[in-house]
Amino acid sequence: MIDTLRLTAEEATGLLERREITAGELHAAYRAAIDERDPELHAYLRVVDECEGDGVPIALKDVISTRGIETTAGSRILSGYTPVFDATVAARCKAAGLPLLGKTNTDEFAMGSSTENSAYGPSRNPWDPSRVPGGSGGGTAAAVAGGLAPWGLGSDTGGSIKQPSALCGNVGLRPTYGTVSRYGIVAFASSLDQIGPVAKTVRDVALLTSIIAGRDPADSTTVEHPEPIRLPDREDLRGLRLGVPRELEALAAIEPGVRVAFERTVDLARELGAEVGECELPLSFEYGLPCYYLIAPAEASSNLARYDGVRFGPRSAGDGYREMVERTRDDGFGAEPKRRIMLGTYALSAGYYDAYYGQAQKVRTLLVREHRDALERFDAIVTPTSPTVAFPLGERAADPLAMYACDLLTIPSCLAGLPGLSVPCGLSDGLPVGLQLIGPQFGENTLFAIGHALERALGLDPVPERLR
């Protein structure tokens, strides 16, 4: 019997290599787990029955184009859209022999922090199905935590890999901007979007990173990672310097239970030999969110202009071209993409461009600089990943600003283009808390080393209590 709730991708690789199991049996075990638990969790929008590949199966967020398999980005406007090509990351997974398990749920166009904006209904948190799994990549996170996939890929624009990983007790990496190809990804905000892995252990995340990273001629923003990705094996933190932003203390948004788990883990890092000090990010937590909510919607309004009923998905009837496009977009987009299109178009309009979009770009440069300054003295910056644990479905759905605030701690480093790793660091009221490690550009190996040592020392059980 394969215990899909516990099996790591690394262990699964070992079973395959020693021929103790076949890839088909492994895939079938996850498919059976999906049949059993996905009716409750709704992590998947679509599942694949055939096992194509001889490796460890994988779940892909539904913003990743998959040849011959419907790809909707959680939106009605892309329902029925079946790509004729694979995104580069999907092709790399295929080339590595990873069979696809299915496409996972996401907030529409990856806009949201709970999956409640998905046009196909929300996913639920395996730790407590009355709560959200986070978002926008809540489907992948719920699948991994619920034993419905050993690992998966998400996309992170402002926190969509890190935040759901934290809320579901997984490890998730947002790689350095430009190290993983965006070719074939349903674009949200192109200067921020990055694809990255979610799994149960830091080593699994490192392994999957090594599979997907690398220069891609089809995405001119990509570069070869200057250091090959290594699987971490160190158990101490000697010689590593961790910076805790002094501004965290005054952030009322951070729940007390999250603070306790975070501070205990920082103490543990000290015991493991890390040198812990205070760093300063004076602008990040004050201006990060407003800056992001100008830049991301501005880019989204331009990226989403392509959905006009002509090339992708369903078309609504209308009298003439203009009316057809208007109706298609009105019927096809949900409330959140519409809100972002309006915000972004406004921020880019003549007369307001300098005051909003231009100003936000300047603030972004300042955020890049303050992270660079902090990371001159420290190997990584540490914060909680999310200010809160998983919240009940519906709690923030009616209040866009409350939803946007979920990403208070994840957004600034995304604007700075830096890698961020979320690792579980404890429980608060029985729900997972995540710790975020931010590194300099291309600092993935250091983040993996720190995350792995903490993971070992903490020894947390990744399986949700109610499923043990």
Active site residues: 61, 136, 160
Pick the closer one to ligand GLN by CB: 33 or 437. Answer: 437
The interface with ligand GLN within residues 132-151 (CB under 6 A) comprises 136
Binding to ligand GLN, residues 180-219 (CB under 6 A): 188
Distance between CA 203 and CA 180 in Å, rounded?
18
Please, which residue, 201 or 386, has the CB nearer to ligand GLN? 386
- Tell me how far apart the alpha carbons of residues 421 and 418 are, in angstroms, rounded to a whole number: 10
HSE (side-chain half, CA atoms, 13 Å) at 134: 38
434 binds ligand GLN (CB under 6 A): no
Q: Is 23 in the site for ligand GLN (CB under 6 A)?
A: no
Tell the smallest beta-carbon distance from residue 347 to ligand GLN (Å): 14
SS3 content of the chain, % helix, strand, coil (to 5): 40, 15, 45
- In the complex, least distance from residue 84 CB atom to ligand GLN, rounded to whole angstroms: 25
55, 83, 102, 112: residue in contact with ligand GLN (rule CB under 6 A): 112
- Give the whole-angstrom CA distance, residue 175 versus residue 226: 13
Interaction with ligand GLN in 295-324: which residues (CB under 6 A)? Answer: 296
Separation CA 343–CA 359 (nearest Å): 15
- Write the DSSP assignment of 296-335 as a string of letters: HHHHHHHHGGG-SSSSSS-----SHHHHHHHHHHHHHS-H
Taking CB under 6 A as the criterion, the residue among 150, 158, 184, 464 binding ligand GLN is 158
d(CA 311, CA 323): 16
User: Residue 28 CB, nearest distance to ligand GLN (Å)?
Assistant: 32
Q: How far is the CB of 428 from ligand GLN (least distance, A)?
A: 21
Q: Please identify which residue in the block is written with the tokens 């199991």.
A: 21
Cis peptide before 136 (omega within 30 of 0): yes
Map the footprint of ligand GLN across residues 399-418, applying CB under 6 A: 407
Of the ranges 82-90, 153-161, 269-277, 380-388, which one interacts with ligand GLN (CB under 6 A)? 153-161
- Report the residue number, 116 or 308, with the smaller CB distance to ligand GLN: 116
Q: Give the number of other Cβ atoms within 10 Å of residue 335's Cβ.
A: 11
Q: Does 110 bind ligand GLN (CB under 6 A)?
A: yes
How many residues make contact with ligand GLN (CB under 6 A)?
Answer: 13
Query: Which of the ranges 44-52, 154-162, 248-256, 346-354 carries the binding residues for ligand GLN, by CB under 6 A?
Result: 154-162
Task: Describe the crossing of helices 202-212 and 88-95 by its angle, rounded to 10 degrees.
Answer: 110
Nearest to 132 by CA among 105, 152, 101: 105
Strand partners, 46: 103
Nearer to ligand GLN, 4 or 163 (CB): 163
Q: Which is nearer to ligand GLN, 328 or 413 (CB)?
A: 413
**Which residue in 107, 211, 216, 120 sits closest to 156, CA to CA?**
107
| Residue 215 φ then ψ, to 5° | -65, 145
Name the residue with the smallest CB distance to ligand GLN. 160
Among 104, 123, 157, 265, binds ligand GLN (CB under 6 A): 157
Name the pairing type of β-strands 100-104 and 58-61.
parallel
Q: How far is the CB of 156 from ligand GLN (least distance, A)?
A: 5
Measured CA to CA, the distance from residue 351 to residue 347 in angstroms comes to 9
* Residue (156 or 379) nearer to ligand GLN, CB: 156
Instruction: Give the residue, chosen from 159, 169, 172, 451, that forms a contact with ligand GLN under the rule CB under 6 A.
Output: 159
* Closest separation in Å from C-beta 63 to ligand GLN: 8
> Measured from the CB atom, is 94 or 131 closer to ligand GLN?
131
Q: What is the smallest separation between the CB atom of 323 and ligand GLN, expressed in angstroms? A: 30
Single out the residue of 228, 163, 160, 232 nearest to residue 202, CA to CA: 232
Beta carbon nearer to ligand GLN, 181 or 328: 181
**Which one of 65, 104, 160, 176 is in contact with ligand GLN (CB under 6 A)?**
160
* Closest distance of CB 180 from ligand GLN, Å: 14
Other Cβ atoms closer than 10 A to 400: 16
Could you tell me the CA-to-CA distances from 450 to 9, 77, 159, 239, 446 in Å, in that order?
A: 20, 42, 20, 11, 6
Nearer to ligand GLN, 296 or 341 (CB): 296
Cβ atoms of 93 and 122 within 8 Å: the answer is: no
Q: Point out which span in 1-9, 33-41, 152-160, 258-266 binds ligand GLN (CB under 6 A).
A: 152-160
Provide, rounded to whole angstroms, the least separation between the CB of residue 93 and ligand GLN: 20
Tokens 């079938």 correspond to 28
Query: Which residue stretch of 9-17, 108-116, 205-213, 258-266 sits at the interface with ligand GLN (rule: CB under 6 A)?
Result: 108-116
Beta carbons of 167 and 389 less than 8 angstroms apart: yes
Contacting positions for ligand GLN (CB under 6 A): 110-113, 136, 156-160, 188, 296, 407
